[in-house]
Amino acid sequence: MYLFNVLKLTFDNLLLQKSRSFLTMLGIVIGVAAVISIMAVGAGAQDLLLSQVSAMGSNLIGVLPGAADEAGPPASAFGIEITTLKHEDALAIEELPYIVAVCSYIKGQGTISYFNKSKSFDYTGVTSGYTSVEDTSVEIGRFIKSEEVNGMDRVVVLGSKVKEELFGQDDPINKRIKINQVSFKVIGVMKERGVVTFQNQDEQVFVPLITAQKLLLGVDHLTFIRAKVDKPENIDLTISQVKSTVRYQHHIKDPAKDDFGVKSTAQALDILGSITQALKMFLVAVAAISLLVGGIGIMNIMFVAVNERTREIGLRKAIGARRKDILIQFLIESGIMTLIGGIIGIILGILIALVISIGVKYFGYDWRFIVTPFSVVISTTVAVSVGLIFGLWPANRASKLNPIEALRYE
């Protein structure tokens, strides 16, 4: 009965000052919503990153230009153009014992046109091992052959969406398109694949590697190399062999002077997992600052409430209320305010995360909507704790008021 009376008095006081109560809770609402939405978005982004890398397969090794330590990616992963990696490196890697397929890649962007239809698409210069390495296949026609790579032939394989954009329902095989005004013969159309490693594979076109290097880009380096290993248990040994092979190709004797990086899919997953987790925790910590601000707001409002209700406190003490009763009353008020603010913040944060999830899915990414019970529990606990901690000082001040002086207060 005592608790019921305390809660009734608490809600009566909150309803008496609706606007002030709402503004007091607003900081908590924003803080909790920010924590919930950031944790949900962070979890979704982490899941997307890891799933995109996992989709490449567990037995792949990637070779990128630029030095890299064991715990991080090469410099080229940050968009820095490095020209040390060559197709000859891929040919040497192809000779290693546990390698079953190798593909050299060079990336570019250009205008793809067919008669009066024209659009910008990414194109990729590749070798014949692409379909084996990427575990994909053509739906119509065939893929690029080794002799077409070496002969610098002007042939092209279209992604499924590129085919639809340019040809609709027509058969594109043996038709001619232009890439940056250079004529190419269409020899195949890839099966629909979707977004892999954050790039829509259906919106790409594939041309022979050397054709892309010499004819379209005017370069002789690679963007990266991918190699498929026969069994996952041979990956570590193969990585060591790949490093030795590329060092020999680049005339490097000191491993500290490597101008390339070699990573397996598993290593890439570990690196991405560590980076995304650290970034998520950092963002949550930044969002939690708003909870601190909200707590200070609650403390200020509670001080105002103590001043406004000084005579009430004096009257209650005069008729027998103990210091503990006054302390509990004000602590419950601040705790209830933050609890209500926390619940509203949780609902708002979930809605924000849901809207972001729907938006990302609209652009073709397999984004999972993830709101963990842990994030809800921790946000609620922190919100109530903030209310109790920041409400303690004004509550303690109220409980220490002298009843005679309080009754005289104007």
**Does 295 reside within a domain?**
yes
220 with 362, same domain?
Answer: no
Do 37 and 351 form a contact (C-beta atoms < 8 A)? no
What's the domain count of the chain? Answer: 2
- Domain membership of residue 166 (yes or no) is yes
Domain match, 368 and 403 both? yes
Give residue 46's pLDDT: 73
Q: Do the domain assignments include residue 66?
A: no
Nearest to residue 386, comparing CAs of 348, 321, 327, 342? 342
Based on the fold, state whether residues 392 and 343 are members of the same structural domain.
Answer: yes
Distances (CA, A) of 345 to 19, 95, 284, 285: 17, 59, 14, 16
Domain termination site, one of 201, 227, 258: 258
Residue 61 in domain = no
Q: Is the pLDDT of residue 379 over 90?
A: no
pLDDT digits (tens, 9 = 90+) for 101-150: 999 999 988 888 888 888 888 899 999 999 998 888 899 999 999 999 99
pLDDT at 407 over 60: no
**Would you list the DSSP string of 344-385?**
HHHHHHHHHHHHHHHHHHHTT--------HHHHHHHHHHHHH
pTM above 0.85, yes or no: no
Domain closes at, from 204, 225, 258: 258
Quick one: 95 and 203 in the same domain?
yes
- Percent of the chain residues topping a pLDDT of 90: 26
Q: What is the pLDDT of residue 44?
A: 79
406 pLDDT more than 60: no
Q: Is residue 109 part of a domain?
A: yes
With respect to residue 63, please indicate whether it lies within any of the assigned structural domains: no
Domain boundary residue, one of 258, 290, 322: 258
pLDDT digits (tens, 9 = 90+) for 151-174: 999 999 999 888 988 888 889 999
pLDDT digits 0-9 by tens, 247-296: 999 999 888 888 888 887 766 666 666 666 777 777 777 766 766 776 77
Q: Verify that 38 and 162 share a domain, yes or no.
A: no
The pLDDT value given to residue 55: 59
Q: Which tops the pLDDT comparison, 72 or 110?
A: 110
Residue 18 confidence (pLDDT) above 60: yes
User: Token pair for residue 36?
Assistant: 């919930």
Shared domain for 254 and 131, answered yes or no, is: yes
The answer to whether 235 and 226 are in contact (CB under 8 A) is no
pLDDT grade, residue 177 (50/70/90)? very high
pLDDT at position 235 = 84
Q: What is the pLDDT of residues 187-227, one digit of tens each?
A: 999 998 776 655 677 888 999 999 999 999 999 999 999 99
- The model's confidence at residue 332, banded by pLDDT at 50, 70 and 90, is confident
Whether residue 234 is predicted with pLDDT greater than 80 in this model: the reply is yes
Does residue 73 belong to any structural domain of this protein?
no
Residue 113 pairs in a beta bridge with 118, 178
> 389 and 297 share a domain?
yes
Q: What amino acid occupies position 327?
A: L
290, part of any domain: yes
Same domain, 106 and 224: yes
Task: Look at the alpha carbons of 80, 86, 91, 95 in this order and tell me if their dihedral is positive or negative.
Answer: negative
Domain of residue 109 covers 83-258
Do 15 and 91 sit in the same domain of this protein? Answer: no
* Same domain as 251, residue 114: yes
The CA distance from 226 to 199, in Å, is 16
Regarding whether 101 and 243 lie in a shared domain, the answer is yes
For 289-306, what is the mean pLDDT?
70
> Rounded mean pLDDT of the chain?
79
Residue 338 confidence (pLDDT): 78
| C-alpha to C-alpha distance for 389 and 383, rounded to whole angstroms | 10
C-beta pairs of 312-317 under 8 Å, 24+ apart in sequence:
313/398, 313/401, 313/403, 313/406, 314/401, 314/402, 314/403, 314/404, 314/405, 314/406, 314/407, 314/408, 314/409, 315/403, 315/406, 315/407, 317/401, 317/403, 317/406
pLDDT at 63 over 80: yes
**In this structure, are 127 and 175 located in the same domain?**
yes
Beta bridge partners of 261: 64
According to DSSP H, which parts of 200-322 are helical?
209-211, 235-249, 265-308, 310-318
pLDDT tens track for 316-326: 666 666 767 66
